Amino acid sequence: MSQEEKISRTILLIEDNEDHAEITQFYINEYADDIEVIWLSDGKIAIDHILEINGNSKRIYPWLILLDINLPKYDGHEVLLRLKSNQSLKEIPVVMFTTSNSNQDIETALKGGANSYIQKPIEPDEFASTIAKIIDYWSLNQHEIIVNNLNHHA
């Protein structure tokens, strides 16, 4: 099997901290090697990218979006809103992945339509397990069907 065939899912990681992005990517790839991580560091670029997907039948919808709140230019809440207000894109689960544990942020995010809210762990082992849990959970959710549908209808 070629690398392309092996890849069945994409996770879109919107994160401005390069280190955090690298760590996250490491653990994702370590856990599931059929997932491709697309990393965008800028909120605006992320939106454009997603919109592009929307208009381009050649692009593939991500299977999951990991979204940080503290982003330059557009902040995470805005990106979330953009995603969730889009007819097609709103089906894609968005997991807030951030250092902030303020109640304000949590509330805003959930109100904004975030599917989940997870704090970036600071224990070394925890990072891996957290990633694993995320992937497992959403795998169980069988939302590949939804995404495939989306892809087929695009």
Partner 1 sequence: MFKKLKLKNRIYTGFIVVGLISLGMAVISVVAFYYANNNFGYLVQFSNKSHLAVAILRDVSEIQRQALIYTHEGHQSAANRVHEIHQRISAQIKQESQQDSKYFQDIVKHLDTYVKTFKQVQQQRTRQAALVHSEIRILASEAENHFLKHIVQASSTADIETQLNNQRILNSLLQIEKYAMRYFDTLDSKDVIFAKNALSQVQKSLQTIQKQDAAKPVSEHILQTIQFINNYEQVFLEAVQRTRGYLFLINVVMSAEAYEIIYRSQRIDRQLEQEMNKIQQRTLSLMQQVIIVIISSSIIFLILITVFSILISRSITIPIEKLTATFIALAKGSRLAKIPDYKIQDEIGALTEAAVVFKGKNKQTEELLAQSTQLTNDLERSNDELEQFVYTVSHDLKSPLVTSMGFIGIIQKLAAAGKMQDAIDKLDRVVSSNRRMGQLINDLLELSRVGRIETDKTTIDLNKLLESFYQNHLNQLTHTGFTLSFDSTLPTLYVNESRILQIFENLLVNALKYAINPNGSVINIGASETEEHQLIYFKDNGPGIAKEYHKKIFGLFYRLNNDKEGTGIGLAVAAKVMKFHNGSIWVESEPNNGATFWLKFPKINKETD
Query: What one-letter code names the amino acid at 119?
Result: Q
User: Quick check: 29 binds partner 1 (CB under 8 A)?
Assistant: no
Residue 114 contacts residue 69 (beta carbons within 8 Å): no
Count of helix runs (H) and strand runs (E) in the chain: 7, 5
In the complex, minimum distance from the CB of residue 40 to partner 1, in angstroms, rounded to a whole number: 13
Please report where in the chains the tokens 């979006």 appear, as a residue: 65
In the complex, minimum distance from the CB of residue 23 to partner 1, in angstroms, rounded to a whole number: 4
User: Quick check: 45 binds partner 1 (CB under 8 A)?
Assistant: no
User: Quick check: 127 binds partner 1 (CB under 8 A)?
Assistant: yes
User: Quick check: 100 binds partner 1 (CB under 8 A)?
Assistant: yes
Which C-beta is closer to partner 1: that of 127 or that of 137?
Answer: 127
User: Quick check: 99 binds partner 1 (CB under 8 A)?
Assistant: yes
User: Quick check: 118 binds partner 1 (CB under 8 A)?
Assistant: no
User: Quick check: 39 binds partner 1 (CB under 8 A)?
Assistant: no
Burial of 142 (0-12, 13-18, 19+ CB in 10 A): exposed
Query: What one-letter code names the amino acid at 151?
Result: N
Structure tokens at 154: 């695009």
User: Quick check: 144 binds partner 1 (CB under 8 A)?
Assistant: no
Q: Which stretch binds partner 1 (CB under 8 A): 84-92, 97-105, 107-115, 139-147?
A: 97-105
Which of 56, 85, 102, 141 binds partner 1 (CB under 8 A)? It is 102
In whole angstroms, give the CA distance from residue 110 to residue 81. Answer: 11
In whole angstroms, give the CA distance from residue 37 to residue 142. Answer: 19
Alpha helices in the chain (DSSP H): 3-6, 18-31, 43-55, 76-84, 103-111, 124-140, 143-153
Binding region for partner 1 (CB under 8 A): 16-17, 19-20, 22-23, 26-27, 30, 41, 70, 72-73, 99-102, 120-125, 127-128
